[in-house]
Amino acid sequence: MGILEIEGLSKTFGTGELAVHALQDISLCISAGDLAALLGPSGSGKTTLLLCISLILEPTAGTIIFDDETIYSNGWTDIDLRRLRREKIGFVFQTPNLIPFLTVRENILFPLELVGVNRHKAEARAMELLEYMEVAHRSNYLPAFLSGGEQQRVSVARALANKPKLILADEPTAALDTVRGKKVMELLKKIAREHQTAVITVTHDVRMIEGFDHVYHLKDGQLNSSSDILFNYDPSRQ
């Protein structure tokens, strides 16, 4: 059984003539420690899919089973979505979205304190994560004093704070140059392998996804999973 199983997932925005079928009958299964890439042109539904998986956006139909619990079955089940999001899912956005008036260290402490980890343990965990992401030397700085690559590594550290079972990343390398982007992607790979965290990441850059376990391609809200697509994929046509 996978950590995440999605069956027949659909999302329609609006109704009648204005309806946009952003996701249509999506099925996928991801195991603990898997790395999955989500490719597809602008407007194909990538962010919508991540938002449904992160339990932020309510789908229109289908099933989501996460960590052996049915979360959505043609409607949310009566599971505490906020608890699941806080404890089991980490999100990395296209831009780092750090809290500007908190130091790097405090940005990591924040999600730990939300789930009630005591200060002493939270401090130790924050420093361990910043070292793991190779930004510990920046722990007492405000985010604005860090480079884009450093900020994104802090945001990955924040996503990891509560040892999530699933990390969702929406173009985490889009704002970075190739070298820094590659480094963030390498760190996501390391997390998946060393902590058995499943990682789903949106990217436009096929050079970033070497060694991934799944490559999904979205087009007009429909999913294809095939190595042929990767083989024939031409990023210049995006």
Ligand X SMILES: Nc1ncnc2c1ncn2[C@@H]1O[C@H](COP(=O)(O)OP(=O)(O)OP(=O)(O)O)[C@@H](O)[C@H]1O
Q: Which residues bind ligand X (CB under 6 A)?
A: 13-14, 20, 22, 40, 42-48
Give 77 or 224: the residue with its C-beta nearer to ligand X. 224
Q: Choose between 42 and 227: whose C-beta lies nearer to ligand X.
A: 42
Q: Which x/- pattern, by CB under 5 A, does the window 71-110 give for Mg ion? A: ----------------------------------------
Q: Which of 127, 229 has the CB closer to ligand X?
A: 229
Q: By rule CB under 5 A, what string of x and - marks binding of each residue 29-58 to Mg ion?
A: -----------------xx-----------
Q: Which H or E run contains 88? A: helix 81-88
Q: Is residue 196 a contact partner of residue 32, using CB atoms and an 8 Å limit? A: yes
Give min distance, CB of 123 to Mg ion, in A.
Answer: 35
Tell me 44's DSSP state: S
Cβ proximity to ligand X: between 46 and 125 the closer is 46
Asked whether 98 and 159 are in contact (CB, 8 A), the reply is: no
Q: Which does 155 bind (CB under 5 to 8 A by kind): Mg ion, ligand X, none?
A: none
Question: Which entry of ligand X, Mg ion, none binds 22, CB below 5 to 8 A by partner kind?
Answer: ligand X
Among residues 75, 49, 80, 45, the alpha carbon closest in space to that of 60 is found at 75
Binding partner of 45, given Mg ion, ligand X, none, CB within 5-8 angstroms per partner class: ligand X
User: Using an 8 Å Cβ cutoff, are 158 and 108 in contact?
Assistant: yes
Q: Which of 57, 75, 26 is nearest to 220 (CA)?
A: 26
| Closest CB to ligand X among residues 51, 135 | 51
Closest separation in Å from C-beta 92 to ligand X: 14
Instruction: List, edge to edge, every strand of the sheet that includes 222-225.
Output: 89-92, 166-170, 198-202, 35-39, 214-219, 222-225
Task: Give the residue closest to Mg ion by C-beta.
Answer: 47
Nearest residue (CB) to ligand X, 14 versus 75: 14
> Is the distance from CB of 151 to CB of 143 less than 8 angstroms?
yes
Sheet holding 20-30, edge to edge: 20-30, 4-13, 61-66, 69-73
Residues lying near Mg ion in the complex (CB under 5 A): 46-47
